Amino acid sequence: MSLKSIAATLAAASIAMFGATFPVLAQDAASEFSLELNNAADTTAGGCRLTYVASNRTGTALSKTSYEVAVFDGDGVVTRILVLEFGALSEGKTKVVQFDLADQPCANISRIVVNNISECTAADGSASDLCLSNLVTGSRATIQFGL
């Protein structure tokens, strides 16, 4: 096989692979609600300030979005269950929201788990399951965050 035919074969294979995977990637990204624990920092009052980044890529504008989460200490014991309210998130919108946990230093939090959806309302007023069925979680902090 000549060098020219090997290059042509590799180019054709690359185009075929890209063409086959690109629509799947575009579809997944278009139907995602991502919630990332971006930062956790101790406050001067002895609590922990949690910074979340929420991105609505579901194809639906949301008028109300909130999650019930469970906070675990280093021993795996649930210390709190609370509701994080993100409010309205139009389609394509990314929003940064901070929540302070009083009297709980960040070092005393091992993980935070999305326990349930408190509210997920589409802009037309109807209840939606997009906030959980399309939820993708992640953490850039030392605290684990997920489902």
Same domain? For 8 and 65 the reply is no
Same domain? For 39 and 14 the reply is no
Q: Which domain holds residue 8?
A: 1-30
Q: Tell me: the pLDDT tens digits for 77-93?
A: 999 999 999 999 999 99
Same domain? For 104 and 36 the reply is yes
Same domain? For 97 and 46 the reply is yes
User: 30: pLDDT confidence band, cut at 50, 70 and 90?
Assistant: low
- For the chain, list the strands marked E by DSSP: 32-42, 48-57, 62-72, 78-85, 94-101, 111-122, 135-139, 144-146
Same domain? For 40 and 97 the reply is yes
Same domain? For 57 and 18 the reply is no
Same domain? For 17 and 40 the reply is no
Q: Tell me: the pLDDT tens digits for 43-74?
A: 999 999 999 999 999 999 999 999 999 999 99
Residue 13 has pLDDT above 50, yes or no: no
Look at the chain and report how many structural domains it folds into.
Answer: 2
120 close to 89: Cβ distance less than 8 angstroms: no
